[in-house]
Amino acid sequence: MRVLIAEDHEDLARAVAAGLRRRGMTVDVVYDGDDALDRLVANRYDVLVLDRDLPGTHGDDVCRHLAAARSESRVLMLTASGTLKDRVEGLGMGADDYLPKPFEFDEMIARVQALGRRPGVPPPDRLGYGDVVVDPERRVATRGNRRLALTAKELGLLECLLTADGKPVSTEELLDRIWDPATDPFTTTVKTTMRRLRVKLGDPPIIETVRDSGYRIGGP
C-alpha cells in the first residue's frame, strides 16, 4: 500500500510515517498543501492522510481537488477539531474518513489499512520484471520458482524500482519513501541494502546503477 502524509507538524508526520513503514507500507511525506497536490499529480496513492489546516493550499481545497478529479486515492482527514459539524463538513467535501487530534496511533493505523482495502483502490495483483515477481498484497517476492527471503526494506526497494517503470529512482527518493525524510542524506544505508538485495536476487542481475541518477530496473 502506498500512502501520502500531508501534515505540517513535522514530528507528528515523521512518527506516523515511521509507524506505517514498520507495517510494510510505502510512505511519502509533505508539509504543505501545494506539495501535496504536486505529489498527487505525479504519483498514485492508495491513501492520503490529510491534515485539514495545511499551510499553502488548505487541506479542504486539496480534498475538493481530489473529489473533482475523481481520484481513486482515499482520504483520511486529520483535524484538531472533533465536533460533529466539522466531521460532517470534512466528509461532505470528499473525505472518506475523519480522525480528530489527538488520536491513538493504533486507531489511525487501522483506519489507513481499512481505507486501503476499500473497493476502488485496488493494489496491483503483481509487479514483475523477467522472472522476478512481487505480490504487494501478500508481501512476497519470488524469482523463478524460488521465494526470496527479503527484509521489509529490501522488499520496499524492489517494489519502488518495479513501480518506476524503468525510470531511475534516486537514493534521496528511496530514503524518503522507505526510511524517513529526516534520514541523513549522506548515509550509506541505501547502498548497503541494495547490495544485499542484489545478492538475494542472484543472476542475471536486473538492478542497474545509473550514474548521478540512482537505480533502475528495466531501463531502455
Q: Where are the domains of the chain?
A: 2-117, 127-217
Residue, of 1 and 14, whose pLDDT is higher: 14
DSSP secondary structure of 142-191: EETTEE----HHHHHHHHHHHHTTT--B-HHHHIIIII-TTS-TT-SHHH
pLDDT of residue 195: 95
d(CA 158, CA 160): 6
Least confident window among 75-89, 108-122, 150-164: 75-89
Percent of the chain whose predicted confidence (pLDDT) is above 90: 33
d(CA 76, CA 48): 6
* pLDDT tens digits, one per residue of 37-72: 998 887 888 899 999 889 999 988 998 888 888 888
Check residue 205 and give its pLDDT.
Answer: 93
**Separation CA 34–CA 9 (nearest Å):** 15
Find cell 542472484 and name the residue.
Answer: 202
Q: Structure pTM?
A: 0.61
Of the pLDDT bands very low, low, confident and very high (cuts 50, 70, 90), residue 92 is low
In 10 A of CB 38, how many CB atoms? Answer: 12
Confidence of residue 99 (pLDDT cuts 50, 70, 90): confident
Architecture of domain 2-117: 3-Layer(aba) Sandwich (3.40)
Indicate the class that CATH gives domain 127-217.
Answer: mainly alpha
Is residue 11 exposed (0-12), middle (13-18) or buried (19+ Cβ within 10 Å)?
exposed
Average confidence (pLDDT) over 7-26? 88
Q: Are 62 and 49 a contacting pair, CB within 8 Å?
A: no
Task: Choose among 120, 119, 87: nearest CA to 101.
Answer: 87
With CA atoms as reference, report the closest residue to 78 among 68, 66, 90: 90
Work out the pLDDT band at 194, boundaries 50, 70, 90. very high
Return the minimum-mean-pLDDT range out of 59-73, 108-122, 162-176.
108-122
pLDDT given at position 117: 75
Residues 46 and 75 sit within 8 Å (Cβ to Cβ)? no
More confident residue, 186 or 122: 186
Compute the Cα dihedral for 168, 196, 200, 24 and give only its sign.
Answer: negative
For cell 530514503, what's the residue? 175
> What pLDDT is recorded for position 175?
81
